[in-house]
Chains A and B, each alone.
Chain A
Amino acid sequence: MNMNNHRHNLRSGAAVAAMALCVPLLGGCSTATEASGLDDTITFAYPAIANSNTWETMAESYEEQTGAKVEVEAIPIDGYNSALSTRLQGGNAPDMFLTEPGTNGVGTGVTTLGEADLLGEVTGAATDLINPDELAAYSVDGKAYGFPLWTVPKTAVTIDSNLEALGGKWPETIDEMLAMCTAAKGQNLSFTLGQFGNPFTADGQTLLVATSSVYAKDPDWDEKRARNEVTFSDTEGWHYALQTVSDMFSAGCYQDGAEAAAGEFLADVMAGVTPPLASLSTGEADIWKVLADALPAEGFSVQAFPGQTAENRRVINSVKYTVSSSAASEKDEAIQAYIDWLVEPSQRQQIAELTGGIPAGELNEETLPEVYAPIGKFVTDDQVISEPGLGIWPDAVLQAMQEGVPGLFTGQKTVDQILGDMDAAFDA
């Protein structure tokens, strides 16, 4: 046998050996899949943040009660949108997953994904949880593609000990608030957290003011804007809202460096340090749960954000996430069974407790979690409104607000310019 023949035989032998190894391995995988009954198991994906295991807990409860399995996939929140949209379009999406009402850019907006025929239709009891006023944010051509299981008010969360240091009385009007901001600075406290390096802070803060200056006076403002009967620029309430955010910055309502801050405070909170703030007022109020877990000695309350007048104060009830299923999934029965189980009142209650929110469905003052007690009056008096613009505004309107508001602090933008940009974005 010469050298070439020897090498050839070695190569052939290696190839045969590799195939011999691969075939049983692949066969073993398929056999294991069949044997474990994974065909009945549905997968559920959600955007993961630290210390959150809501969906793992629900899956365990479901398996205990029904024997059916739900495989939970926690996708890091910063890559969730792109991961979900890529997998949906690639045909390998999870069977169920969390989405967001409306369009919401790329990836997780219910109507965006519904229009692309990527979501399964929601039917049955789950559709009863959708607020009829917000149907446009959950449906395409009359078919619903997502439903809420819990809601979270967008309003202020107070750190009670720091509020006590400022006299203990939460302001009811913008004027009272601006006066309190100045007083708070004298005690090395800030009235509220400003994180304008994060886009959502700018629009979140503006919309909180607009609840009283725009929507308390004209609840149908969004519908009128859609019919071009009003514009942002010619609505006094919007001028007031943007000017108020600018005034808050000038009055020192936010901590130093708020114009570029982007979540740095959370590092201190996680280290057990109480932030020198009287409140947090952008984003959803379920932040109280994160704070309470990190700072167990502190007390927290959810309060209505100060209004143009005390009577005009409103609370936004926001749906942070919706539940949807993949149109490509072939496990319709298993998905429907899990949905039917999730929408039962006891499950909604459990999810609300785990997330720090409120069970989706009819709001009731008596059943509000204790931390939400201060806004109970607003529930009773029917002063809870839907999220402004939901299902009506194009995404570009919020983007114009997000980009423009920090410019009020730096002198790069005026209120009129931002409102003009918002109108242009709406009409584009």
Chain B
Amino acid sequence: MKTMTSGKTTSEQDEPEKHPAEIVRPLRLSNGRPLIAFGRWWWAAPGMILVFLIHFVATLTGGYFAFTDYTGIGSFQFIGLANFVRIAQDPAVVGVIGTTIFYALIQMVGTTVLGLLFALGLNRGLKSRHVLRALVFLPLALSPLAVSYIWKYVFQYDGLLNESLLQLGLGDLRRTWLGDPDTALWTVAVVILWQGTGLAMVIFLAGLSRVSPEVEEAAALDRANQWQKFWHVTLPALRPSIGIVTMLGLIFGLRLFDPILAMTGGGPVNSSKNLALLVYQEAFSRGNFGYGAALSMVLTVIILFFAILQQFITRNRDV
């Protein structure tokens, strides 16, 4: 144990004082600057230039194509707002935007509620909670495209779900889940909830670790019931986590792509198609790169709008 005497610790006092010649000083140039200087601002310049070129220039260039008739190959012409006029006049796009928002709301609300429930259930007490947490989190560690193809095997007509229904004597409930406009949307919703809940749970678990047991005990001494403890103690402490989870859910939901492509391809007749898939199909399958770029700008504006809205709603993050 170190003790302080006259401003120095005993360990410092035990060390013999070094001769001034033994002290290694950094080599300096004649103007007094060190020979090797760490942390100069321009050391970050290459990285900043790369970020600028890769992110901003590429994005701005992509944005420019929204005002052209580029097909993805060969030359193109500037056509002004024609692509945006076409978007506004296409009734199918309105439906696709509606589906995009549906997925975003499902992802945002669903993962928030399920993630919170799992976090509360697996926070303390349960002996197997670590294993169960890992199981809930596991889908997040898997490739979204790969698991979507596996889910497709579950939902296809001769897949696991229909076979299970048949084995349970519920054969009448079998249906073409992926080919029915009433169910195709929900099959995708199941997959995004299954995959997104783990992340929400982990964020909420981190938030729950901030809830002081003493405060909960104090609430219990005040004879607060479970609901009152949750509402008045736990939930306020989780506000920052809720803000993050809803923000991530919203953004992931708006730019959802893999499960729709793998499971339904956006069908039948656009019933499960969102803007991200429409952008992909127009730009890369149909050769309407300019139109696809315009659609992606619309998607960007929608994401921006909802992100600002979400920030406004959850703006009070202070506990």
Contacts and interface: CB of A to CB of B under 8 A. Distances in A.
Interface string B272-311: 0000000000001111010000000000000000000000
A102 to B, nearest CB: 12
B242 to A, nearest CB: 37
A112 B71 contact: yes
A105 interface: yes
A112 B269 contact: no
Contact of B179 (A89, A115, A257): A257
A85 B72 contact: yes
Contacts of B74: 112, 115-118
Nearest to A113: B73
Interface stretch (B106-114, B188-196, B223-231, B260-268): B260-268
Interface residues of A, number: 38
A112 B287 contact: yes
Interface string A229-269: 00000000000000000000000000011011110100000
A410 B179 contact: yes
Interface in B147-185: 156-158, 176-181, 184
A383 interface: no
Contact of A395 (B177, B178, B286): B286
Interface stretch (A21-29, A35-43, A205-213, A399-407): A399-407
Contacts of A264: 156, 158
Interface in B38-85: 71-75
Interface residues of B, number: 32
Given A106-B73, A115-B74, A196 B286 contact: no
A406 B27 contact: no
Given A259-B180, A412-B268, 12 more contacts: A85-B72, A106-B289, A113-B73, A116-B74, A118-B73, A197-B267, A199-B265, A256-B176, A259-B179, A260-B176, A260-B180, A410-B269
Interface of A: 2-4, 82, 85, 88-89, 103, 105-107, 112-113, 115-118, 196-197, 199, 256-257, 259-262, 264, 395-396, 399, 403-404, 406-407, 409-410, 412-413
Top 10 nearest A-B pairs by Cβ distance?
A257-B157, A260-B179, A116-B74, A259-B179, A407-B269, A260-B178, A106-B287, A412-B269, A406-B268, A116-B73
5 contacts: A2-B24, A112-B73, A261-B157, A264-B158, A396-B286
